[in-house]
Structure 1
C-alpha cells in the first residue's frame, strides 16, 4: 500500500475530528447545561462573578450545540451544503473561542478586586458594572470576528456555495494572514497577558497580606490557584491552535513556495490542534464550581431536594 500525503487530512477529519467533537459534546453539553439551569433556578442573588460565569456557560453551551452537526459531516466525508449554516457555525465557533478567554479575564479581575476590597465597595464588583463589561465584551468579540463573515461569503461564492472551508483555508479580498495575526494578538495574546497579570497581582497581594497579618491567608489561596489554573489552561489549549493556524495560512501564500506534502503535513498538525483548543468548553464547568460564590451549595441543595421529592412520589401511599 502506497501512502499518499494528500489523504492524511481526509483521514484525520473522518476519524479524529468526528470522534473528538462527538466526545466533547457528550461531556461538555450536560455540564454547561447544568450550570446554566443552576444559575437560573438556584441562584437568588447574583454577584458580578456570577454574571461573568453565566455568560461564559451560555457561550460554551451554544458552541457545543454546533459539534454534533460537524461530527456527522466529518464522519461521512461531507461538507456543509447550507451556506447560512456554514457561516453561522464558523461564526459561533470563533465568537466562543475569544469570548471564553475574555470572560475568564474578567473573572480573574473580579477575584483580584474581591481580595483587595472584601466588602465589595469597588465599582467593578457591582452587578451593574459587570453587565456593562459583559455587553462591551460581546460587542468587542463580534467586531473582531465580523470580517470573517466577509471572508466566508467570498470563499463560498468562489466554490459556487458548495464548499464550507475552515478559517485557515478561506480565500477572499481580505488579507487572511494579516487578519489571523491581528485576531491572534487582540483575541488571544492580550487577554492571555491579562490573565497572567491578574495572577501575579493576586499573588503579590496575598504575600503583602501575609506579611501584614503574619499568618497564612488560607481562605484567599483558592482564588490564586483558580486564576493561575485558568491561565495555564488557556496557554496549553490555545497556543498550539493559534500558532498552527497562522503557520497553515502562511503555508498557502505564494511567497511560502512549499511543496504539496509539506502543506498537507502542516494542515494535519493544524487539524490536530483544533479539538484541543475547543476543550476549554468541556473544562470550563470546573471553574463555575470553584469560583461561583455559594453556587455549589445552592445547586447541591436543589438537586437533593429534587431527588427527595422524586423518591417520595415513588413511595406507595
Structure 2
C-alpha cells in the first residue's frame, strides 16, 4: 500500500513538472516566437506582393517559405494562451488544423530551403541563369510538387489525430508523440524523420560541399571570379547548421517518447517516461525557432528585394513625415 502511494505521489509530481513547463516555458516561448517572427515574415510577404515586379526562381521559393512560416506563426498565440491558463484545446477541428499546420511548416521549411540552396549552387555554376531549373516556370512546378509531397507525408498523421480524438470523445487534444491509433506511430515517426528531415538535411550538406568544391576549383582557375560567390557558401552552410541544431533534438526526443510508451525493462513511471516527455517539451519551441530565423535568409539571399523594400519603406516614412 505504501509503495502504491509513493508511486502515485511521484507520478503526481512529474505531472506537475509538465504543467509548469507548459505554463512557464512553452507559453512564453511561443509568445516570443510569434512577436519576433510574425512581423518579419509579414514584411517579406507584403514586400514580395507589392514591391517586387519581376520574380526569379529563388523569389518563388522564398515567398512560399515565408507564407508557410507566417501561417504557422498565426497558430502560436492560441497555444500560448491555452498553456498559460492551464487549459486544454476543446475544439477538435482547431486541434487538427493546428497540428496539421505545425507539421506541414516543419517539413516544408527545410524542403524549400533545399531548393534555395540548389538555386545558389546553380547561380555559381550558371551565372547567366540559363539552366532550366533557374526558370520561374520550373520553380512553380517544383513548388507545387513540394507542397504535394509534404501533404502526403503528413496525411497519416491526420488519420491518427481523428482516431485519437474519437477515442477521447472528441475532447482531448494531444501532440503527435502521444497519439494512438491503427497506424504504427513509431514506424511512421521514424519514416517521417527520414523523409522529412534527414534526407533534406543531407541534400543541404551536399549542396554546401558542392558549392565549396566549385569555389575551390574556380579559385584555382581564376582567383578573382570566385570571390563574389563566397556569401552563397556561407548562406548554405548556415542553413544546414540551423536545421541540424534546431531539428535534431526534437526528432530524437519525439521518437524516444513514442518508443517509451511501451513498457521498457527498468524504466519506472516518473524518472523514465515523464522525464523523457519533459525533455521532449523542451525541444519543441527550439524546433519551431526556424520560423523566426528564416527572415534573415530572405534579406541575405535577395539583394534586389532588400534594396527595393528598403527604398519603399524610406518613401513611406518620408510621406508620413
Matched residue, 2:216: 207
**Partner Cα distance (1:296, 1:120) in 2:** 20
Question: 2:230 aligns to what SS in structure 1?
Answer: helix
What's 2:140 paired with? 131
Instruction: Report what 2:43 is aligned to.
Output: 34
How big is each residue's C-alpha offset from its partner over 1:181-221, in whole Å with a ceiling of 9 and x where there is no partner?
00000000000000000000000000011011034622100
2:149 match: 140
Aligned to 2:275: 265
TM-align CA RMSD: 1.2
| Matched-pair contact (CA < 8 Å) for 1:50–1:293 | no
The CA distance in 1 between the partners of 2:208 and 2:223, in whole Å, is: 22
Moved over 4 A (4+): none
Aligned to 1:295: 305
Superposition TM-score, scaled by structure 1 size: 0.96
Match of 1:225 among 234, 238, 259: 234
Deviation at 1:100, TM superposition (A): 0.1
Aligned counterpart in structure 2 of residue 286 of structure 1, from 296, 307, 319:
296
Give the structure 2 partner of residue 304 of structure 1: 314
The answer to whether structure 1 residue 158 and structure 2 residue 167 are counterparts is: yes
- Name the CA distance, whole Å, in 2 between partners of 1:256 and 1:56: 44
SS at structure 1 position matched to 2:34: helix
Inter-partner Cα distance in structure 1 for 2:280 and 2:265: 17
How far apart in 2 are the matches of 1:238 and 1:205? Answer: 28
Which residue is 2:124 aligned to? 115
Whole-angstrom CA distance in 1 between matches of 2:267 and 2:86: 26
Out of 6, 14, 18, the residue aligned to residue 5 of structure 1 is 14
CA-CA distance at 1:254 after TM superposition:
3.7
- By how many angstroms is 1:5 displaced? 2.2
Q: Does 1:75 align with 2:92?
A: no
Q: Distance in 1 between matches of 2:265 and 2:98?
A: 30
* In structure 2, C-alpha distance between the alignment counterparts of 1:263 and 1:76, rounded to whole Å: 25
Q: Supply the distance in 2 between the matched residues of 1:256 and 1:223 (Cα, whole angstroms).
A: 50
In the alignment, does 2:286 pair up with 1:276?
Answer: yes
Would the aligned equivalents of 1:250 and 1:256 in 2 still touch at CA under 8 Å? no
Between the aligned partners of 1:215 and 1:112, the Cα distance in structure 2 is: 18
Note the C-alpha offset of 1:6.
2.6
Question: Paired residue for 2:4?
Answer: none
1:53 corresponds to which of 62, 68, 74: 62
Name the CA shift for 1:74/1:268 in 2 (closer, same or farther; >3 Å): same
1:98 matches 2:96:
no
